[in-house]
Structure 1
Amino acid sequence: MRHLLITLALLFPILAMAAPRTVDWLDLLPEEDYQAMLDMPEISHDWGTEAPGDFSNSLRSSDRNLPEVMYSTRVVGEMDGQHIELGGYPVPLETDEQGRYISFFLVPYPGACIHVPPPPPNQIILVEYPSGLAIQDIYQPLLLTGTLQVAQTSNELADASYRMRADKVVSYPGG
């Protein structure tokens, strides 16, 4: 019996990694931000015209008239270190020698830097994907599996409150 318990204790971390926790973007919002989003007034979606293939527009909102929750960096601390599966849309950042994206932001809705206000930092994940991914269409949803970290990141394009090292990235089923 003792041998069985030791074997199970050694296998538990492996088994836990085998089945990622499926999360939704709302799971990344602390309760106060979730409620603020529910109470938020309608926001205009006329943020400019799309330049196909141009990912240089900023995910930072220059409109300081939006509700405070649209700038929130508050996080759900329990998400740190979780092995998760999450769907979203890419905002390409950095490529490898073959032109595959090894770094990108994942956001909850398409066109986040073009037609709609950018999501708040606690709804942006900086993704590192060493295997690389060809991104031809930012409107094609992706499904990512990896380990989520609570980590504030800032670059010229955006601020993000989460970071993920993706193990697997695929087109979202039915997307």
Structure 2
Amino acid sequence: MRHLLLSLLLLSSLAHAELPETDWLDLMPAEDRQALEDMPEISHDSPEGDSAFYGADGLRQQDKDLPAVMYSAKTVAALDGKAIRLGGYPVPLESDEKGNSTLFFLVPYPGACIHVPPPPPNQLVLVRYPKGIPLENIYAPLWVSGELKVETISNELADAAYAMDAGEVRLVTDEDL
């Protein structure tokens, strides 16, 4: 009986153990990472709507002065179907009747897709989370865990090269830091 209890305790702790963190740069092929590292710094300090990125069809208007890596949809095939945990910031797209966010983009830095330019498609993950999560502050970081899929998503706000049906979404807490 004691062995059964120890086994159940071990299984329970493993079931609640989190996946190791995946770095956003791991979502980019090596050539894109290098191009991004070689790119000059981009300012995110401009006011909303005060940019060439805001065209009649939303943020997807391109700036000819930015390198092609800023529009790259190249993915890492080895990540397709892999269970990952990714930290990032939400850009809410759909909510349930309780106001909980059930569909959102996860982005690597706060304000992405609101301020400009939006991240490249291979730095955007569309998260489907039917359980929903209240998102009172889009500047509060989240942990999102689930199976990552190479999937092209395009909407009026941005394009994404990845999607995830999340099994868990939670706010980052002080204990995580």
TM-score class normalised by the smaller sequence: 0.7 to 0.9
Aligned ranges 1:115-126 → 2 under 5 Å: 115-126=115-126
Q: What is the alpha-carbon distance in structure 1 between the residues aligned to residue 85 and residue 37 of structure 2?
A: 24
Moved over 4 A (4+): 15-19
**TM-score in terms of structure 2 length:** 0.80
Matched, 1:108 2:108: yes
Q: What is the alpha-carbon distance in structure 2 between the residues aligned to residue 70 and residue 146 of structure 1?
A: 26
**TM-score in terms of structure 1 length:** 0.80
Shift of 1:17: 10
Shift of 1:172: 1.2
Given the superposition, is the C-alpha separation of residues 64 and 46 from structure 1 closer, same or farther in structure 2, using an over 3 Å criterion? farther
Q: Secondary structure at the match of 2:153?
A: strand
The question of whether the paired residues in 1 share the 8 Å contact of 2:93 and 2:103 is answered with yes
The question of whether the paired residues in 2 share the 8 Å contact of 1:59 and 1:119 is answered with no
Q: What is the alpha-carbon distance in structure 2 between the residues aligned to residue 58 and residue 141 of structure 1?
A: 24
The question of whether the paired residues in 2 share the 8 Å contact of 1:20 and 1:85 is answered with yes
Aligned ranges 1:26-175 → 2 under 5 Å: 26-49=25-48, 58-174=58-174
Q: What is the alpha-carbon distance in structure 1 between the residues aligned to residue 149 and residue 132 of structure 2?
A: 20
Where do 5+ consecutive residues of structure 1 fail to align?
Answer: 1-14, 51-56
The question of whether the paired residues in 1 share the 8 Å contact of 2:21 and 2:87 is answered with no
Percent of aligned pairs with the same amino acid: 57
Pairs aligned (count): 155
Shift of 1:16: 9.8
